[in-house]
Structure 1
Amino acid sequence: MLTRFVKLWMAGLFTLGLMSFPAQAAEHGSANEAKAMVQKAIDAMKKHGVEATVAEINKRDGQYQDRDLYVVVYDMNGKNLAHLNPKMVGKEMFDLTDIDGKFFIRERIELVKAKGKAWQDYKFINPTTKQIEPKSMYVEKFENVIVGCGIYK
């Protein structure tokens, strides 16, 4: 179990890393666009494999990022495999909480285990506005990974 200090350090690192990304466009992505990005990533995983697709997702300004939308990938233990913020890749995120204390990665894992795919609400730093905002993440399980893309409300 991570100590409180390590959890706070990881949350701070996560926040600072996202805040370093320049604002792209003021326009928000839609729920349908988020679902389409997840499906695009899963289709690529089916065609090229999980590892190759994760490498592509981790490329800055690649095909899996659009405005405030970006695809994330976690293993079923909460380890981050792909993220907009390269500092988060490889980090164990199971115990990460949002500003309200919600263990959103734990919840994400439980949702896909139970349903295969779902929408999840939590609060997170928006990389374009640099503010903590309500966010809904669409997540889908594929093989042994969770693929997600979220929208800011």
Structure 2
Amino acid sequence: MHKFALAVAAAAATLTLAAAAQAADDRGTADEATAMVKKAHAHFESAGKDQALKDFSTPGNEWVDRDLYVFCVDQTGTNQAHGANPKLVGKNLSALKDANGKLFVAEMVEVGKAGGGWVDYTWPNPITKKVEPKSSLVEPFGDLICGVGIYK
């Protein structure tokens, strides 16, 4: 009986590790986010602003990959595209605070205006439905600030 209990415990531990590895595989990486921003910028330039924004906000296409998605705001913080939640398009998010009180959209606009970079904040993960630490790479796309974030 003791060997059976050990076998069950070993199997449970293996399943737990496999589930943890699977969860890690479901998360985009900084390199993948950077590549998606570059690809989105090229699409923005080739397809034009209006078509690109429409494409970025259409679920189920190449602009959404697991927990990675493209978003864009204008320089007032008004959302222009959002791959995970198209209902945010048209809403001014400049006063939006994360769970820690950080005005992260306003910071994204400032970082984007300065040439781009990473912004850290917390945000609901569309996969886990939990508020998690996140970092987004934002860059200027014409007169907009667009980016892709990773959950940590």
* TM-score of the aligned structures, taking structure 2 as reference length: 0.81
Matched, 1:86 2:86: yes
Give the partner amino acid of 1:118.
G
Q: CA offset at residue 37 of structure 1?
A: 0.8
Tell me the equivalent position of 2:97.
Answer: 97
The separation in 1 between residues aligned to 2:65 and 2:149, in whole angstroms, is: 11
Tell me the equivalent position of 1:139.
Answer: 138
Give the partner amino acid of 2:79.
N
Tell me the equivalent position of 1:129.
Answer: 128
Q: CA offset at residue 48 of structure 1?
A: 1.3
Tell me the equivalent position of 2:52.
Answer: 53
Cα deviation 1:21-68 (Å, max 9, x = unaligned): xxxx84100101101111111101111111110111111111100001
Q: CA offset at residue 113 of structure 1?
A: 1.6
The separation in 2 between residues aligned to 1:47 and 1:31, in whole angstroms, is: 24
- Unaligned runs of 5+ residues in structure 2 are 1-21
The separation in 2 between residues aligned to 1:93 and 1:36, in whole angstroms, is: 25
Give the partner amino acid of 2:103.
F
SS in 1 for 2:90: coil
The separation in 2 between residues aligned to 1:132 and 1:45, in whole angstroms, is: 29
Q: CA offset at residue 143 of structure 1?
A: 1.0
SS in 2 for 1:141: strand
SS in 1 for 2:46: helix
Over the residues paired in the alignment, what is the CA RMSD in angstroms?
A: 1.0
SS in 1 for 2:72: strand
The separation in 1 between residues aligned to 2:105 and 2:145, in whole angstroms, is: 10
Of structures 1 and 2, the one with the larger relative CO (CA 8 A, separation 6+) is 1
* TM-score of the aligned structures, taking structure 1 as reference length: 0.81
The separation in 2 between residues aligned to 1:29 and 1:76, in whole angstroms, is: 27
The separation in 1 between residues aligned to 2:86 and 2:41, in whole angstroms, is: 20
Tell me the equivalent position of 1:108.
Answer: 108
The separation in 2 between residues aligned to 1:61 and 1:148, in whole angstroms, is: 18
The separation in 2 between residues aligned to 1:47 and 1:53, in whole angstroms, is: 9
SS in 2 for 1:77: coil
- Unaligned runs of 5+ residues in structure 1 are 1-24
Cα deviation 1:94-146 (Å, max 9, x = unaligned): 100001110001111111122x1100100011111111110000000121001
